[in-house]
Structure 1
Amino acid sequence: MVSGVETLLLEVLPVFIIAATVGIFVAKVWELPYTIALLLAGLAVSILGVVTDLVTIDIRLSHDIIFLVLLPPLLFEGAATTDLAQFRRHFGPIIALSTVGLLISIGILGVLGQYAFGYPLLVSLLFAATVLPTDPVSVLALFDELGVPDRLAVVVEGESLLNDGVGVVVFTALLALVADGATATDLLSITGLGTLTLEMVFVSLGGALVGYVSGYAVYSVMRNLDEHMTEVVLTLILVYGSFLIAEHYLHVSGVIATVVAGLLIGNRGADEAMSPQTKISIFTSLATMAFLVNTFIFVIIGVTKPVDQLVTYADLILLAIPLVLLVRALAVYPVTALTNRLSMSSISTEYQHVIVWGGLHGSIPIALVLGLRPDLYPSLPVGELRAMVFGVAAFSLIVQGLTMPTLLDGLGVVTRSEAEEVYELLLGRARAVDAALAAAERLHKNSEIPTPMYEAFTAEYEREKEQLRTAIQTLLGAYLEVGTRNS
C-alpha cells in the first residue's frame, strides 16, 4: 500500500518539476515574466489532467502552511529588493494607496459583492480582502525591460508591498469573525468597527516593531561577520523567524514584521553589513526561494483542476473581473488626486492609468484562498471563492500583464533613451567599482591580502572610478534629461 508521502513524491513532485521546467522554458522562449509562464504551465497541467484530484493525494493546505511556509519568502524577497531611498521619497502616495486606497476598494467591493454574487456582507468583504492585494513581480519585470521611469516603478512596487501586509491583516481579522460565526450587524456596529480598527492598528504597529527589532538584531550580527554562508543562514532564519515571533508568540502581524525586516536587511544591511559576495549569495537565495514558492502555488492550482471550476463558476468570474477593475479605479484616482493636492510626490494622470491597469493579482491572493478549506470554514463557499480568485488572477496576469507594453506605448510612458541606457550601465559599473574598493579595504584591514597587492588593486580601480565619473558627467552635460527623467 502506498503511503500519503510516497504518493506525494510519486505524483505531485514530478508534476512540480515538469511544470517548473515548462514555465522556465516558456518564459525564456516567449520572453514572458515567469509568473505568467508558471500560470500557463499550471493551466496546461490542469487541461492535460496529469493529476486528476488533489484530495485523493491527501495534501491539506492549511491556513498555517500557507502563512508559515509560503508567504514569508515572497514578502521578504519583495521587501529586500525595494530601494528604500526611492520608497521614502514617494512614501506619501505609496502609503495612501496601500492603506486608504485598499480599504476603500475592499469596502466598495464588499458592498457590491452582496448584490453581484449573492453573498452575505461579511463573506463578500472577505473575498474583497483576499483578491485585492496586488503582486508587482510580473509588471515590474516588464517595467524594467521597457524602461519605465523609476518613480513609477517604485510607486507600483511600494504600494504592492504594503498592501500585501494590510490586506493580509484585514483578511485575517475578517476570517476570524467568520470562524466565530459573527454577522454583518456585529461588524458594522460601533463597538465592532472600533474593536476591529484598534486590533488592526495594534497588530500592524506591533508587527512593524517586531520586524525592526529582529531585522536590526540580525543586521548587528552581520556587521561583525564576513562569512557569506553564515549570513545566508541568518537571513533565512530572519525570513521565518520574524514571522513566527510576531504571529505565534506576540500575536501581531507576521506579514508586516517580515516586510519591515526585509526592508532593513535589503537596504541598510546590504549597504553596511554585506560584502559583495554575501550580497550575491543572499539575494540569489531569496530569489530562488520566491521562485520555488511561486512555482508551487501555480502547480497546486493546476493539480486542483481549476479549468473545471472556471467553467462551473464562469458567471461569477465574469462578474468579479470587471468589479475588481472598477473598485481599483474608484480607489486609485481619488486617492492620487488627494495626494497630488497635498503635494505628496505628484502622480500624473498617465501614471495613474498605469497604476490602475498594473494592479496585478497573483501569488498573495492565490496563497490566501488556497488556505481556505471547507472542513474548517463550512459557512464559506470555498469552491466559488477559489475559482473567482483564480479567475481574477489569471485575467490580471495574462491580459493586463501582456497588454502593459501597449498601454505604456500609448500613454508615452516608456521613456528610456539610448543615452539613459548608457547612463545606467555606467552608473552600475561605478557602483560595482565602489563595492570592489570597499571589499579590498576590508580585506587589507583584516590582513587577508598583502599591502603591495592592495595598493596596486586600489590604484587601478581608482583610475577606473575617475574615468567613469568623467564619462557620467560628460553624458549628463550632453543630455540634461538623463539625470532628471527618473527622479
Structure 2
Amino acid sequence: MRERLESLLLVLAVGSTVAIGAKRVGVPYNVALVLVGLLLVVLDVLPNTPMDPEVILIAFLPVLVFEGALFADADSLRAASRPILALAVPGVLISLLGTAAVATLVLDLPFATALLLGALLAITDTVSVLLAFRSVRVPHRLAAIMEGESLFNDGTALVLVVLASRVVASGTFDPITTLRELSMAMIGGAVLGGAFGAVGSALLRRTPDHLTAILASTVIVFATALVTERLHASPVIAVVVVGVVIGRVARRFLEPSRVLALQGFWETSGFALNVLLFLLVGMQIQAEMLVREAASIGLALIALHAGRAVAVYGCFGVLRAVTREVVPLRWQHVMLVGNIKGALSMAAVLSLPRDMAYRDRLITIVFGVTFVTLVAQALPFARLLKLLQVATPAADLTLDAAKATLIAARRGQAELDELLASGLVSRKEHAERRAAFQRQVIGAEAALQSPQGEQAKDHLTDIALLSAQKAAVLDAARRGLIAAETADAHANELDHEMVKLHTHEGGG
C-alpha cells in the first residue's frame, strides 16, 4: 500500500511539473501529458502501478464528468438542444458502428470487442477544445453545441462501454436486450440525476460557507454515482445532469465567492485526475506493444474520423431537412476536427476488468489514438479556427473589452449608489469613486460608437429581444394563457431567427 501511494504521489508530482511547464510555453497541458506518457512508455522509468478498475469507475469518472458539467451553461445547452442530441445519440451510434466495422474486418477483433473499442473511441474530450475557445473567441452557439455534445456524448458512449464490456464478458449479443438496457440506463440516469440535482441544489443553497458547499457537492456527486450504479442506471448521465443543475443553481443563487470556490475545487480535482490518468496509462503500456499496434492505431484513426464525418454531416443534414435548423458548414468542419480523445477515454479503458480478453490491446490502441489526436488535432486547433474564419476578429475582441468595461463600471456605480443610500460611504468618497467609474464609462462608450461597435450593439440587441420574446411566450404557456402547441410553434420560429443571427456571427 505504501509503495503504491508513493508511486501515485511521484506520478502526480511529475505530471504537475509537466503541466506547469506546458502552461508557461502555451501548450495545452493534456498534450504535454500525453507526450510525457509516451516518454514513460519508451524509457520505462516509473514503476508499473496498475489501478483497480473499480477505483477508476467509482472515483475518477464521476469527478471528470461532473467537473465538465458544472461549468456548462444550462440555458445555452437548452437553446442548442437539437444539434446536441443529434450528435449525442445517433451520432455516437454511427461513430461506434463505423469504428467497430473496421475493427472487426481489419484489426481482427471479435465483433463484441470491436463494439467496445468503438464505444471507447466515441468518447470525446473538451479540454483541448475549450482551451482553444478561451484563447480564440468563437460564436457562443458553436461553443455550446460542442460542449453540450461532449457532455451527453460521453454519457451515451460510457453507457455503451459498459454494455459492450458485458457482451464481451458473456460472449453473447442480443440486440433487443442491449437496446432495452441502453434505454433504461439512459432514462434512469437522467431521472435520478434530476432528482439528485434537485436535492443537491437545495442542500447547496443552505450551506453557510464555501467549505460546506464544496463538501456538500462532493457528497452529492459520489452519492449520485453509487446509488445510480446500484439501480443499474447510468451513473455518468446522472452525474452530468446533477452537474448542469447544480451549476445553474449555484450561479443564480450563491454569492460569487462560493461559486468560484466550487469551480476552483472541481477544476483542480479534474486537473489532478487528468494528470494521473495520462501518466498511469503510460506506465501500463509496453513500448514493443505500442510499436506492434501502430498499424492498428492508424486504421482505428481512419475509421474514427470516417465515422465522425458521417455522423456530423449526416445528422446535421437530416436535422436541417426535418426541423429547418441550420448548423453552418464551417462549424461542422470544426466539430469534425474537434473529435479529440483524452482522459475520459483512457479512464474508461482502464476501468475494464483486468481479466478481460484483449484489454491490453485496447489500452494500447486507445492511448495511441489519444496521442495522435492530441498532437495532430489539439495543438493546431486554434489556428484551424482562424483558418475556417470561425474565430472572432481581433477588432471584435476590442469591442468585447469595451463592453466588459462598460458593464463593470455601471455595476460599480450602482453599488456605490446603494452604499451611499445605506450610509456606508461618505458623499465625498461616493463622488470621487463615481467620477472614476464615469471616466471608464465615457471611454467604453466612445469605443462602442464606431461603426463596428454600433453593428455589434445592434446584433446583441436583436439576440436579447428574441430571447425575451421566447421567454415571454413560454411563460404564457406555463400560465395557461395560450396553448402549449402555439407557444412551441412560435418559440421555434424565434429559434430559427436566433440561429440566423448566430450563423451570421460565425461566418456560416
- Residues in 2 aligned to 1:436 and 1:45: alpha-carbon distance in whole angstroms: 55
- Residues in 2 aligned to 1:231 and 1:173: alpha-carbon distance in whole angstroms: 35
User: Match for residue 243 of structure 2?
Assistant: 262
Selected match of 1:201 from 183, 186, 196: 183
Structure 1 unmatched ranges of 5 or more: none
- Secondary structure at the aligned position of 2:106 is classed as helix
Kindly indicate whether residue 212 of structure 2 is the aligned counterpart of residue 221 of structure 1. Answer: no
Structure 1 consecutive aligned stretches of length 4 or more whose deviation exceeds 6 Å: 435-438, 454-463
Structure 1 residue 161, shift from structure 2 partner = 0.7
User: Match for residue 94 of structure 2?
Assistant: 104
What TM-score does the superposition give when structure 1 sets the normalisation length? 0.86
- Residues in 1 aligned to 2:205 and 2:412: alpha-carbon distance in whole angstroms: 15
- Secondary structure at the aligned position of 2:380 is classed as helix
In structure 2, relative to structure 1, the CA distance for the partners of 1:195 and 1:10 (3 Å cut) is closer
Structure 1 residue 73, shift from structure 2 partner = 1.1
The answer to whether the 8 Å contact 1:313/1:388 transfers is: yes
- Residues in 2 aligned to 1:120 and 1:436: alpha-carbon distance in whole angstroms: 67
1:326-345 equivalences in 2 (<5 Å): 326-343=306-323, 345=325
1:298-313 equivalences in 2 (<5 Å): 298-313=278-293
For residues 201-232 of structure 1, what are the alpha-carbon distances to aligned partners after superposition, in whole Å with 9 as ceiling and x for unaligned? Answer: 12211111111111111211222344111111
Structure 1 residue 417, shift from structure 2 partner = 2.8
In structure 2, relative to structure 1, the CA distance for the partners of 1:214 and 1:406 (3 Å cut) is same
Question: Which letter maps to 2:424?
Answer: M
Structure 2 unmatched ranges of 5 or more: 460-500
- Secondary structure at the aligned position of 1:117 is classed as coil
Structure 1 residue 12, shift from structure 2 partner = 3.9
- Secondary structure at the aligned position of 1:361 is classed as coil
Kindly indicate whether residue 110 of structure 2 is the aligned counterpart of residue 120 of structure 1. Answer: yes
For residues 357-390 of structure 1, what are the alpha-carbon distances to aligned partners after superposition, in whole Å with 9 as ceiling and x for unaligned? Answer: 1111111111111122442x2xx21121111111
For residues 319-368 of structure 1, what are the alpha-carbon distances to aligned partners after superposition, in whole Å with 9 as ceiling and x for unaligned? Answer: 11111111111111110111222346421111111100111111111111
Kindly indicate whether residue 24 of structure 2 is the aligned counterpart of residue 24 of structure 1. Answer: no
- Residues in 1 aligned to 2:12 and 2:312: alpha-carbon distance in whole angstroms: 37
For residues 284-326 of structure 1, what are the alpha-carbon distances to aligned partners after superposition, in whole Å with 9 as ceiling and x for unaligned? Answer: 0010000001001011022224533311211211211111111
The answer to whether the 8 Å contact 2:89/2:153 transfers is: yes
- Over the residues paired in the alignment, what is the CA RMSD in angstroms? 3.0
- Residues in 1 aligned to 2:249 and 2:397: alpha-carbon distance in whole angstroms: 27
- Percent identity reads 29
The answer to whether the 8 Å contact 2:12/2:272 transfers is: no
1:125-164 equivalences in 2 (<5 Å): 125-164=115-154
- Secondary structure at the aligned position of 1:119 is classed as coil
In structure 2, relative to structure 1, the CA distance for the partners of 1:454 and 1:267 (3 Å cut) is farther
The answer to whether the 8 Å contact 1:19/1:42 transfers is: no
User: Match for residue 35 of structure 1?
Assistant: 30
User: Match for residue 304 of structure 2?
Assistant: 324
Which moved further from structure 2: 7-16 or 223-232?
7-16
Kindly indicate whether residue 424 of structure 2 is the aligned counterpart of residue 453 of structure 1. Answer: yes
What TM-score does the superposition give when structure 2 sets the normalisation length? 0.82
In structure 2, relative to structure 1, the CA distance for the partners of 1:236 and 1:426 (3 Å cut) is farther
- Residues in 1 aligned to 2:148 and 2:110: alpha-carbon distance in whole angstroms: 32
In structure 2, relative to structure 1, the CA distance for the partners of 1:305 and 1:172 (3 Å cut) is closer
- Residues in 2 aligned to 1:256 and 1:454: alpha-carbon distance in whole angstroms: 49
- Residues in 1 aligned to 2:239 and 2:255: alpha-carbon distance in whole angstroms: 23
- Secondary structure at the aligned position of 1:252 is classed as coil
- Secondary structure at the aligned position of 1:256 is classed as helix
- Secondary structure at the aligned position of 2:118 is classed as helix
- Residues in 2 aligned to 1:220 and 1:466: alpha-carbon distance in whole angstroms: 42
In structure 2, relative to structure 1, the CA distance for the partners of 1:181 and 1:466 (3 Å cut) is farther
